Amino acid sequence: MKGFWRDAVEFFPILLNGVALTIIVTIGSLLLSTVLGLVWAMMRVSGIKALSMLSASLINVIRGIPIIVLLFYLYFVMPDLGVTLSALQAAILGLGIAYSAYQAENFRAGIEAIDKGQIEAAQSIGMGWWLTMRRVVLPQAVRIVLPPYGNVMIMMLKDSSQASTITVAELALQGKLIASSTFKNTSVFTLVALMYLTMSIPLILLVRHFEKRAGKR
Amino acid sequence: MIELNDVHKSFGRVEVLKGITASVEKGEVVCIIGPSGSGKSTILRCINGLESYDRGEISVEGLKVDRDAPSIVNIRTQVSMVFQRFNLFPHRTALENVVEGPLYVKKESRAQAFDRGRALLAQVGLAEKADAHPPQLSGGQQQRVAIARALAMQPKAILFDEPTSALDPELVGDVLGVMRKLADDGMTMVVVTHEMGFARDVADRVLFIDGGVIVEQGPARALLNQPQHPRTQDFLRRVLHPL
């Protein structure tokens, strides 16, 4: 135990560099997946058949490819096609695209949960599709969507470790590098696990808060 | 101002409207009565394009109702609707519900929209509930907010789709009172209702619909007191003397 604390003091600052990258990857891919997920969901509920089918197929293709393969593709294959991405860019793009499929399904479920009467009421005062979405449907869907959205945030935080496979020195890779050069596997990986947990706890509390609020009405 | 000419409408293989021809004049109050499933609500919903119709033509002030044409927005701002289940926006206050259309569809100034919104809430007897959210209001209060929301569009006519059917009996009177005042002020109204007392006292004309056709129509008092058609007689007997 004493050894662990000594190791912790020694490795913590190096691991913090990894934490910074973990947070950057998580936030970056969260934003990207949210925007893309919203676009897919809107296409899905647009009522325009071509858009809805395009979005459904996109979602299925994305869902059917493992994240790690998507990352390899972006990082190792894209340069052959003339598009060179930094490891960090590829990580954010890959995770963002991968998660956009889940976000889209989540958003769609939220939108479709809104009572049809709400849409009719909006139409009956002359609102068009977009205004109905913006003023009536989406503000109500947010309440429904937030708890699962929080869960996605937690999953993304942990899945950001997959960026390590394309050389992004985030927390997991940083830990692996230290462990393989010091052989202090127990200390290092315990520390890494605790650091992920520490970042997850605020998110877990946030989800609980969302769930309470959604349950109110 | 509202004309229906031989309107047909099917849901799948079920034909719910089998050639409806009717008109509503400016300032007129027309009640539509009939058994459930007879197509009463569908007529209303076709008039403001919430439903499409298959054949025939509906027009409002000479403008053809086509729910896929851009002109439908124009028609909907002229013909408001009040729903059976109120359909207020639960995430907005009573006042915000009322000003939503004027602000975002008609692009009125905030000051003007909110001033008129408050006046309309006062008109339906809910001035003190302006900041309440719909879930905090009783059914009767919600329906009166919904009427204020419809009025806020300054419509030429209002369609009421069974406005009191979802209300507890003791709350029906408040809503009917507001509607009666509107009628007295000369608002053009088409009301699908089971409230025969309201139809008799307030409506100018009553249409009795059964099986997707207008079985009988005429001045409210005459039709309700001396129905001519046996189906009308039978329906009224069962509504007025259920036991």
B-chain residues within 8 Å CB-CB of A127? 101, 104-105
Q: What is the pLDDT of residue A217?
A: 52
CA distance from start to end of chain A: 49
- What kind and span of H or E run contains B208? strand B205-210
| CATH code, domain with A131 | 1.10.3720.10
- Asked if A18 and A169 count as a contact pair (C-beta separation under 8 A), the reply is yes
Which residue in the block uniquely carries the two structure tokens 């309470």? A212
Closest CA to A136 of A120, A112, A118: A118
Model confidence at A43, pLDDT cuts 50, 70, 90, reads very high
Question: Does residue A131 carry a pLDDT above 70?
Answer: yes
Question: Does residue B228 carry a pLDDT above 60?
Answer: yes
Phi-psi group of B110: left, alpha or beta (phi > 0 → left; psi -120 to 50 → alpha; rest → beta): alpha
Question: Does residue B71 carry a pLDDT above 60?
Answer: yes
- Asked if A42 and A133 count as a contact pair (C-beta separation under 8 A), the reply is yes
> In whole angstroms, what is the distance from residue A142 CA to residue A144 CA?
5
Closest CA to A111 of A54, A56, A42: A42
- Asked if B149 and B101 count as a contact pair (C-beta separation under 8 A), the reply is yes
Three-state secondary-structure class, residue B146: helix
Q: What is the pLDDT of residue B4?
A: 95
> In whole angstroms, what is the distance from residue B171 CA to residue B80 CA?
22
Total of domains in chain A: 1
DSSP state letter for B221? H
Closest CA to B17 of B1, B35, B32, B37: B37
B-facing residues of A in 94-133 (CB < 8 A) are 115, 117-118, 120-128, 131
- Asked if B126 and B160 count as a contact pair (C-beta separation under 8 A), the reply is no
Q: Say if the Cβ atoms of A121 and B80 lie within 8 Å.
A: no
Q: What is the pLDDT of residue B36?
A: 87
Model confidence at A216, pLDDT cuts 50, 70, 90, reads low
What residue numbers bound the domain in which A165 lies? Answer: 1-215
Q: Which residues share a beta bridge with B188?
A: B157
Cα-based distances in Å from B119 to A126, A135, B114, B150, B184: 22, 23, 8, 13, 18
Question: Does residue A157 carry a pLDDT above 80?
Answer: yes
Q: Check if A215 contacts B (Cβ < 8 Å).
A: no
How far from the centroid of its chain's Cα atoms is residue A27's Cα? 8
> Whole-number mean pLDDT of chain A?
92
**What's the pLDDT tens digit per position in B88-140?**
999 999 999 999 999 999 999 999 999 999 999 999 999 999 999 999 999 99
Task: Name which residue leads in pLDDT, B186 or A217.
Answer: B186
Question: Does residue B141 carry a pLDDT above 90?
Answer: yes
Model confidence at A1, pLDDT cuts 50, 70, 90, reads low
> Whole-number mean pLDDT of chain B?
94
Report percent pLDDT > 70 for chain A: 98
Q: Pseudo-torsion of CA A94, A96, A99, A100, nearest 10°?
A: -120
**What type of residue sits at position A91?**
A
Q: What is the pLDDT of residue B239?
A: 87
Question: Does residue A185 carry a pLDDT above 60?
Answer: yes
Q: Say if the Cβ atoms of B81 and A217 lie within 8 Å.
A: no
What values do phi and psi take at B153, rounded to 5?
-75, 0
Q: Which residues share a beta bridge with B60?
A: B2, B63
- What kind and span of H or E run contains B64? strand B63-64
Question: Does residue A215 carry a pLDDT above 80?
Answer: no
Q: Which residues share a beta bridge with B141?
A: none
Q: What is the pLDDT of residue A213?
A: 79
Q: Can you tell me the mean pLDDT for B11-30? A: 94
A-chain residues within 8 Å CB-CB of B77? 125-126
Half-sphere exposure of B40 (CA within 13 A, CB side): 26
Q: Say if the Cβ atoms of B91 and A139 lie within 8 Å.
A: yes
Which residue in the block uniquely carries the two structure tokens 């009628």? B183
A-chain residues within 8 Å CB-CB of B107? none
